[in-house]
Structure formats: structure tokens, C-alpha cells
Chains A and B, each alone.
Chain A
Amino acid sequence: MKAYIEHIVSLDPQAAAQTLELTGETIPYVTVAEPEYNRFISPGEIRRMSRFTKLGLYTSLRCLQEAGASAVDAVTVGTGLGSFGCFEKFDQSIHAAQESGLSPTPFIHSLPNALAGQIALTLKCSGYNMTHVHRGFAFESALLDALMLLQEETDLRHILVGAVDELTGTYVRLLQQTGYAKTTSTDVAPASEGVVPGEGATFLLVSPQPSERSVACIEGVRLLFEPRNTDEIRQAVEELLTDNGLSLDQVDTVLTGRSGDARFDARLASLESDYLAGKPIVHYKTRCGEYQTATAFALWSALRSDDTTPARSQTSQRILIINQYQDANYSFLLVSRDLN
């Protein structure tokens, strides 16, 4: 099941982690730079839409414009959290106004599929339109959904696939209070408890055939829920490679989703030091932080042409991304820059 990435856009995470100042505590977290929404979205819509929808709509429309495409046949979106901002806003208004005379806007935009719906509306795309919301599988299953669709319906030419998750100040606080976020260190390497929360918006345009614009070929996607041991993770990687008639030797770079939380990283750490020993390894969450759809950022960072990461070189043709979310959602994505 192969497909070609015509173009991919992701919003740049801020270079340095932001911090949320609380009573005596500093919580590091990573946000994306707020894009110039007005390049693609009207002032009225900018006012009305949630930040979640705006981030996604902006990224999807920019992806299409840069790819020189104006229409798509289907849209699949992944989000692990949806718009927490709108949940907050509507829940607050329920409380403040005692359940009467509420504005429906935050309720409408609290629905994760408000984004895919908005894209369909903007592009007048009446085709398949799906929103995947499974935590650390959301982007991967949206991508798999698109790959399947291209196999099933041979007249489809372009599918927009995206991933968006946003952070809010209160969500960061909630993560910290429940023990999911680090309180001091911003570094992934010295593993401790908690992650540096992040956010991101990534969209890619996939098509069934390579073109002169294509940047990569997606060779395969696999999901694994709650592996019982590291061996099962290794097995999943091997199956993915075997499916494509490949061995690990033919993989140039591996990107792994180490989150910096020792409770969740142990299996990937042991995979890196054993099965993946000697491979160039990139830990992308040091740049984007931890969030449900971080694999989409990893894909973008692996393919961007101006990346100066030492592990990436001219010879990095085949890339394997292994992501984990809270040691429960493991995913495997194999991508090649060789389009033949």
C-alpha cells in the first residue's frame, strides 16, 4: 500500500520552550508560532473559529497552495485531543451563566470534526471526510485511511491528510497537576518523570502516483496497541520491513518518539540500544514536545530539505519513524525519498 507525498507543511515549533509561570513553579512546554491566518482565512472567520480549527485550516490551505493544487478528493484528519480550548470555554460558560442563554460557537468548535468539515466547506469537497481521534493513533490511522482509499478508488488523485493538536495554558496546568508534565528540565535525554508538552499542525497532500513534485513515498504504516515487551515492537518493525521486501540495513535513519518520561520510554530506549544499535537516531520530541499526533511532525522534519540535523545527509533515503504515546500507542511509518 504505497502513496506519494506531493507536499507537506508543518508549523514550526518555537525554538525555545515556553514556560508557564504558576505559583512558584515553571512548566516548560512547546507551542507553534502563531501563523498569519489572514493569508488564507477571512477576518470574520478568524474571529469566529477556534484556534484549533484555524491552525488546521491555515496549514491545510497553505499545503495546497504550495503544492499548486486547488482541489482534493477526500480529507482525513487526526487529532488526539481536539479543541480543549473550546471545551474549556463552553464548560466555563455553562458554569458562569448557569446553563442558560449560552453561545453555541464554542460547542460547535469543540467537535474535533469541525476542522475536517471546515476544510470540506472551504474547498467544496464533497468526498470522503473522516476525523480520527484515537490518542497516539489519530494521525497514523488518518494516514492509513487515506492510503486505503487510494487503493480502493482508483479515480482519486489527491487526498489531504492532517494532524492537529493544540495546547492551552490550563491544559498544561492540568498535565502538570496530574503528573504528566515535567516541572523543570526541558531536556529529553536525562529521563525523568513527565514530558515537555507540545502541540502541532501538519498537513500533507498524498496521491497514488509520483510526480515531479513528489517529495517521498510512504511505504507502509503499522499500529500496535500496548505491546507486552520490546520484542513485539521489534517484530512489528520487522514485519513492516518484510512487507516491503526490506531489511533494517536498508533503513538510513530512524526517528523515535522518546518523550523524556522514563515511565513511557523504557521500551524504545532498549530497542535503540539493541536492535537499532549503530543506526543514526533522531529524537524529534526534543523539538516539538510531546503530543498525540507528534508523528506528523516527525514525518515533516524527516522530509524538509533545509534540515541540518547531523543524522540527515544525502544518503538518508529511507526513514523509519517509530512513535509511542504513553507506552500504549506504538506506530511505525516507513518513508522513502527514492521515488522509483
Chain B
Amino acid sequence: MNIYVTGMGMVSAIGQNTAETFDHLQAERTGIGPIRHVPTRLQEGYVAGEIDRSDEALRELVGHTGPQPLTRTTALACLAVREALQQADLTELDPAIRTGLVSSSTVGGVVRTERYYQQFLAGEDVPDIVRTHNESESTEYISRWLGIRHFVSTLNTACASSSNAVVLGARLIRQGMLDRVIVGGADALCRFTLNGFNSLLLLDPELCRPFDENRKGINLGEGAAYLILESERLVNRRSARPIARLSGFGATNDAYHQTSTSPEAIGLQTAMRQALQRSGLTPDAIGYINAHGTGTPNNDATEGVALREVFAGNVPAFSSTKSFTGHTLAAAGSMGAVLSLLAMQKGVVLPNLNYRQPIADHGLEPVTSFQTVRPYHHVMANSMGMGGVCASLIFSDN
């Protein structure tokens, strides 16, 4: 059973949709800048891939009448899902088609809880934060909006969350449980995660430099990215024009440390090998890799070693687009998928900003400028998360 991507949508610091996103990539213009909307002391001295709109403005952009998205996470998710549906030519979901939603988030409603929690502790009356203090509030909002009832689920595997949502969605179709599934993730920037990564000493106060020898850490970001996956049967029946085929995936655990990767990122190696094996491709078929590339010393060293191992010294063009969007946590995996699909569609490879010098451990050089290349047919997107989670996705244009 082949599984096709028939639509995709993305919102981040480099655009409200995939067209704006592509323009930013082409212009090599980062979306990372000052933090304006998160009430945090870290506004001073730190940068992030924040979407320069208030919660109110984002809600207006969503433009729903009736119940409004209660959290920034949900508003972002709605924007990306709406674009994905438009691309797939789905204005309304046919209730006769078994449709599911597998979403993911790490922040979820914490972005709302953190506004009121101290007030609650102080004994003040606060709005109902129980309802939104979970990672599935955005999933339920979207399901209600679109009338999805067959299968609704939310994952949280840290920074690999939405890659895993793609994997689970694909498996639900392969098992014949669903014909169509919306997959992806959303995360809003918030004080909790900014301070979390800062307490781990993983934030770079300046612009992040993925895969550079002198990289200092992460810039966090926010946004959402969703794909519409459909079974081959449904695609044929409704004569949909797919963007690509999800040809392979791998999901593993590095089982080495809660917050860092094993020296050779064994978990990621296995995930990439699983994905290649499922797709029936040899490593040399991959034309571009959207790497996890967070910009931390540990990630970029070990991820590079893993790439060198799996691709036997012949690593394809690769880059970390987190230098544009910041690290969008749960949304990072599906964002990587959307960005690599865009790249394959347009026959380009995407730049990795702020890179100067290869990392001594592996000596790999990412793509440093936006380039049109000889058309390629298979693209890979990787992610890794705390708790040792690793995932790899391969999309093919046939």
C-alpha cells in the first residue's frame, strides 16, 4: 500500500505559508530575531524564531467564527492545517472517508498555563487552565473544527514528535484503519521552554550556527507544519495530484542518555537505515537531507558522524534549516518534512546559514547557499529528541 502526501502547510518565523517560506529560503533571510511576544526576561540577550504577531493577531488570521483557539499553539496548528487542506483540494472532509488526525506538541497549553499559574497559586480566580494544560488541546480543537472522529491522537516524543506523528499516521493507513490522516505538530514559543533550554545551557544568545565547528547552541522557534497523507486507493479514486510518496520511515531509541546522543548517534543511524530499507533505496539515491542540526555541540557532532557512517563517506547535500526557523521542538520534524518536500519539488537544496568551518569530528560541510541542482527524486528528513528518540523519513517524487 503506497502512501502519498497530497497537501502540506507550514507557519513559522519565515512565513505564514509554504510560498512565503520558500521566498525566505531563496533570499537566505533568517526569521530569527528579537523576542517580542513572550513575556520573559530572556527578551534581553536572546534571540528566537518568533512569529511576530500577538496571540490576538494570530487568532484573527485563523479567522474562525464560533469557538476561538484558546492557545497560541492551537492558532498556529490551525493555520498550517488549513494550508495543507487547501493544497490537497479538500475544502470539506467527506465523513464517509475514514479520516484521522495524529498531531503532536511538547508545549501545548503550557503557553497558557504559565500566564495564570502564579496567579492561581496566589489564590486569585483564573480561567479554566485544566482544559488547556495538556498537549492535545490543539488536536481536539482541529478535530472538532473538521469533524474528525475516527482516530484522534497526540504524541509527545520531544523534538522528534511530529516525525513520529508522520510515522504513526502512515502505519494507520498501512494497517487499513484509515484512508486519510492529517499528521504533524505545533509548538508555540514560551517562557517555560526558553528557560528550560537555557537551564540546560543549550541556548546560543546569538544566531545559531548549525554544523559549524564553533557552534554554541540552539535558537528556539515556534510554528506548525502538517501533511495530508492518503492511501493510494483514495488518491486514485479522487484523482488527487500527490506532492510525493512517503517511501520510507524509521523510528528508534538511542538508549544512551536522557539529554544527549551517543557518540555515533547509533539510534539515528538505525532509523536512517530502517527508512532506506523500507524505501528499497540505496543511500546514493538520496538527493538532499534536511538534518536535525540544532546547533548544539553534542547534536551536530554526533549527527554528522551518523550521516558519514550510513552514507559511507558519500554524504548527500544536507543542511539544517533551524538557522532560518529556530528549533520549533515538536513541530521541527514535520517542518523538516515540508521543507525537504519543497526543496525536492523545486529542484533545489536549502542553505544552512551561519556556517563557516567544518566540525573536526566528521569534517562534513553543509549546503551554504540556496542552489538549483540537477533534479533529484528522493529526500530525507531526520530528527532526534530528548529521551533518546530518533526518527527518519524518506519522501520520493514518484
Interface residues of A (CB under 8 A from B): 1, 75, 80-82, 84, 87-88, 90-91, 94-95, 98-100, 102-104, 107-108, 110-114, 116-118, 120-121, 123-135, 137, 141, 145, 148, 151-152, 170, 174-175, 177-180, 223-227, 328
Given contacts A129-B157, A134-B152, whether A91 and B117 have CB atoms under 8 Å apart is yes
- 13 contacting pairs across A/B (C-beta < 8 A): A99-B42, A107-B196, A107-B199, A107-B200, A113-B389, A116-B387, A120-B253, A128-B251, A130-B251, A131-B387, A133-B134, A137-B152, A148-B171
Q: B86 contacts which chain A residues (CB < 8 A)? A: none
Chain A: which residue is nearest B118 at the CB level? A95
Q: Report the count of interface residues on B (CB-CB < 8 A).
A: 66
Chain A nearest Cβ from B348, distance in angstroms = 33
Interface contact B136-A135, CB-CB below 8 Å: yes
Contact stretch, chosen from B60-68, B142-150, B302-310: B142-150
Which of A102, A124, A129, A178 is close to B128, meaning CB atoms less than 8 Å apart? A178
Chain B: which residue is nearest A125 at the CB level? B255
Which of B136, B255, B258 is close to A124, meaning CB atoms less than 8 Å apart? B255
The interface bits of chain B over 246-272 (1 if a CB of A lies within 8 angstroms of the residue's CB, else 0) are 000001111111110000001100100
Q: Does B397 sit at the interface, judged by CB under 8 A?
A: no
Interface contact B130-A178, CB-CB below 8 Å: yes
Q: Does B220 sit at the interface, judged by CB under 8 A?
A: no
Chain B: which residue is nearest A175 at the CB level? B130
Q: Does B340 sit at the interface, judged by CB under 8 A?
A: no
CA distance A180 to B129 in the complex (A): 11
Q: Does B392 sit at the interface, judged by CB under 8 A?
A: no
CA distance A126 to B140 in the complex (A): 31
Chain B: which residue is nearest A181 at the CB level? B130
CA distance A10 to B174 in the complex (A): 32
Chain B nearest Cβ from A262, distance in angstroms = 18
CA distance A224 to B118 in the complex (A): 36
Interface contact A117-B252, CB-CB below 8 Å: no
Residue among B128, B253, B389 having the largest count of chain A Cβ atoms under 10 Å:
B253
Given contacts A111-B156, A111-B387, A170-B121, whether A328 and B174 have CB atoms under 8 Å apart is no
CA distance A100 to B201 in the complex (A): 11
Which of B114, B118, B266, B387 is close to A126, meaning CB atoms less than 8 Å apart? B266
Chain B nearest Cβ from A158, distance in angstroms = 15
CA distance A116 to B56 in the complex (A): 36
Q: B143 contacts which chain A residues (CB < 8 A)? A: 225-226
Interface contact A113-B149, CB-CB below 8 Å: no
Q: Does B41 sit at the interface, judged by CB under 8 A?
A: yes
Residue among A102, A120, A129 having the largest count of chain B Cβ atoms under 10 Å:
A129
Interface contact A134-B192, CB-CB below 8 Å: no
Q: A123 contacts which chain B residues (CB < 8 A)? A: 255
Q: Does B135 sit at the interface, judged by CB under 8 A?
A: yes
Chain A nearest Cβ from B97, distance in angstroms = 16
CA distance A102 to B259 in the complex (A): 16
Given contacts A98-B41, A132-B154, A134-B152, whether A121 and B175 have CB atoms under 8 Å apart is no
Q: B251 contacts which chain A residues (CB < 8 A)? A: 128-130
Given contacts A90-B196, A104-B196, A126-B266, whether A117 and B120 have CB atoms under 8 Å apart is no
Chain A nearest Cβ from B176, distance in angstroms = 10
Chain A nearest Cβ from B223, distance in angstroms = 19
The interface bits of chain B over 155-169 (1 if a CB of A lies within 8 angstroms of the residue's CB, else 0) are 111100000100010
Chain A: which residue is nearest B250 at the CB level? A128
Q: A145 contacts which chain B residues (CB < 8 A)? A: 168
Q: A175 contacts which chain B residues (CB < 8 A)? A: 130
Q: B368 contacts which chain A residues (CB < 8 A)? A: none
CA distance A112 to B148 in the complex (A): 25
Interface contact B192-A114, CB-CB below 8 Å: no
Q: Does B106 sit at the interface, judged by CB under 8 A?
A: yes
Q: Does B54 sit at the interface, judged by CB under 8 A?
A: no
Q: Does B153 sit at the interface, judged by CB under 8 A?
A: yes
| Closest 5 pairs between A and B when the two form their complex, measured CB to CB | A117-B387, A107-B196, A129-B253, A134-B154, A102-B199
Chain A nearest Cβ from B274, distance in angstroms = 10
Interface contact B121-A117, CB-CB below 8 Å: no
CA distance A80 to B140 in the complex (A): 13
Which of A98, A104, A108, A132 is close to B155, meaning CB atoms less than 8 Å apart? A132
Chain B: which residue is nearest A105 at the CB level? B199
Interface contact A91-B149, CB-CB below 8 Å: no
List residues of B (257-303) whose CB comes within 8 Å of A's CBs: 257-259, 266-267, 270
Q: Does B17 sit at the interface, judged by CB under 8 A?
A: no
Residue among B120, B135, B191, B257 having the largest count of chain A Cβ atoms under 10 Å:
B135
Interface contact B255-A121, CB-CB below 8 Å: yes
Q: Does B195 sit at the interface, judged by CB under 8 A?
A: yes
